Structure 1
């Protein structure tokens, strides 16, 4: 018997901030599975800032979304039909699949979630998945944290930044987070144990940054860019390390903004600024994932998820990322 499948398509390329009209929810008939395939029922969608770049139609480190084709992203789902000997009905899996009620897959790039009995399955899209690996690999490989140093993290209440700060605390650093609301700052300090949390929207932000970092900044983990990063760069120390993870403040810009040139600061401080994507460190994923899962089980890492229910609300969740509406990992619960 055929199934009706709702699928989100990219209806048009956003100009500036994405709008609901950029997305189209289409109903399609789902064909029967063939030999070697599995049918997956979607439970959760991962909503991530990098997807905004894929909407522009320009190839970067990942192929762009095509117009009138399904949007794809991280998915947790359940195998409900299988003609693939690697997967059994009832297996819970994670992979890059369509924003849809159901997905057909050959099994390539799909991993079974077999080591998640003691942690929530949703962590496979968050703290023990891509965001966690991004935080761990970027901090350890580029940040090279040393006990007693000071780290500043922009976008600190997001899925990646909140994990970076907690790992840095485990490594003995002074941790200063930057976020966009007093609520987020309280969460960073009271629940995650950051030493300081600064609201960048306050007029006294730079003065507060100087107070929080009297001895300067040794590591700046940058998820945001823009004026926030301009301010932090004025405080970096000799041989500071700056992992460039994201520039969310500029993802919706219709022209390239011009701000302070940081080249001179990097030269005079002998500082390293290095951009990265998580796949650069794929050879470390097994070890890093095991460490993250262990820390979660031991209660050394905690997390928060912002969950919106209903596939039809996926665009709302995505747009909310750029308005700062989420705390921690943004998910859409489909089932």
Structure 2
């Protein structure tokens, strides 16, 4: 069996360029005992992948130059050497940017195609949905009547954060880029207020949308959005830090004065809780998340949106668009039928 794969050819400086990747076709090993040969159906594209292209210190090791780019996948089992899986089963794995893979069965999760669309295992019922659930409820702890603000709010994490906040009785304010996304926040996801961070009066709009201040700010972006949020934070506000996508392509610190003193002063004066997290820290909550989220979707309390791009050959272009907010909803590459 051969696989066509996209490997990291060199480490990007700034925005990933075509020359940072290479597409090649290679032979795969036969699955050893306890493994399965898989055909990739869908590949998830997520912002964390930009960090894995860099060799800077991080919470996960970098992708080695010449290695297949990493990523979660929904795949069909072609051959299994473990009785737990049979040919034709559908599984969630981590096959990366390629058409076929060999993975250890113990690392795979069998999916029921009749229970939910397969792509949801990469989005609202998968890592992004769980990131929203665990980060908001464990760190943010929204309470009835509080105001929850989330950046990158039409993405799979941000949209889910806002809807879970409303389920818990809080007021949800979403920040996104462009009129179309602002409309989606109101009409599709049911946010109480939505703001375009590209608007020249963004800070004023944010102040008007948060008359009682901000109790929870779910951070996905950083940069100018965080600058506008900081003055609106209430005493004892909680800030789960999930991502900083506005900075992922930066190769040096931004210009301007050092604002660390301002941030630390706010943390002190307002008794803020600011905590970064990775969703794997909360895996003991995953089964509860699956049950809660499936129930909320069935009851119409959580909506989701997917942006499915056809063809592995469009992966690099689609990933660049993800880093600048061109996608509408969870970005997925359809690799095969």
Task: Calculate the TM-score normalised by the size of structure 2.
Answer: 0.96
- 2:146 match: 149
Whole-Å Cα distance in 1 between the matches of residues 235 and 279 of structure 2? 26
| Cα RMSD for the two superposed structures | 1.2
Preserved contact between residue 75 and residue 96 of structure 1 (Cα < 8 Å): yes
Whole-Å Cα distance in 1 between the matches of residues 70 and 21 of structure 2? 13
1:223 aligns with 2:220: yes
Whole-Å Cα distance in 1 between the matches of residues 248 and 156 of structure 2? 17
1:33, distance to aligned residue in structure 2 (A): 2.8
- 2:241 match: 244
- 2:306 match: 305
Secondary structure in structure 1 of the residue aligned to 2:56: coil
Q: How does 1:154-165 map to 2 (within 5 A)?
A: 154-165=151-162
Q: How does 1:190-229 map to 2 (within 5 A)?
A: 190-229=187-226
Please list the CA deviations of residues 11-44 of structure 1 after superposition, one character each: whole Å capped at 9, or x if unmatched. 0100001112111110112333333321100000
Whole-Å Cα distance in 2 between the matches of residues 296 and 240 of structure 1? 29
Preserved contact between residue 5 and residue 30 of structure 1 (Cα < 8 Å): yes
- 1:187 match: 184
Indicate which of 46, 49, 64 corresponds to 2:47: 49
- 1:126 match: 123
Whole-Å Cα distance in 2 between the matches of residues 55 and 330 of structure 1? 18
Which runs of at least 4 in structure 1 moved beyond 4 Å after TM superposition?
none
Whole-Å Cα distance in 1 between the matches of residues 37 and 320 of structure 2? 29
Whole-Å Cα distance in 1 between the matches of residues 150 and 33 of structure 2? 48
Secondary structure in structure 2 of the residue aligned to 1:291: helix
Which region of structure 1 is more displaced relative to structure 2, 51-60 or 64-73? 51-60
Whole-Å Cα distance in 1 between the matches of residues 310 and 169 of structure 2? 38
Secondary structure in structure 2 of the residue aligned to 1:52: helix
Please list the CA deviations of residues 152-205 of structure 1 after superposition, one character each: whole Å capped at 9, or x if unmatched. 101111110010001111111111100011100000001111011100111110
Please list the CA deviations of residues 208-257 of structure 1 after superposition, one character each: whole Å capped at 9, or x if unmatched. 01110011001100100011101101100011111111000001111122
- 1:38 match: 36
Preserved contact between residue 72 and residue 99 of structure 1 (Cα < 8 Å): yes
Preserved contact between residue 151 and residue 220 of structure 1 (Cα < 8 Å): yes
- 1:65 match: 63
How many residue pairs match? The answer is 332
Please list the CA deviations of residues 283-327 of structure 1 after superposition, one character each: whole Å capped at 9, or x if unmatched. 111111221122112221111111111111111111111121111
Task: Calculate the TM-score normalised by the size of structure 1.
Answer: 0.96
Indicate which of 3, 15, 18 corresponds to 2:16: 18
Whole-Å Cα distance in 1 between the matches of residues 304 and 105 of structure 2? 29
Whole-Å Cα distance in 1 between the matches of residues 187 and 81 of structure 2? 49
Name structure 2 gaps, 5 residues minimum.
none
Which region of structure 1 is more displaced relative to structure 2, 117-126 or 196-205? 117-126
Secondary structure in structure 1 of the residue aligned to 2:102: strand
1:59, distance to aligned residue in structure 2 (A): 4.2
Whole-Å Cα distance in 2 between the matches of residues 77 and 118 of structure 1? 16
1:167 aligns with 2:168: no
Whole-Å Cα distance in 2 between the matches of residues 242 and 37 of structure 1? 41
Whole-Å Cα distance in 1 between the matches of residues 3 and 212 of structure 2? 56
Name structure 1 gaps, 5 residues minimum.
none
Secondary structure in structure 2 of the residue aligned to 1:108: helix
- 2:99 match: 101
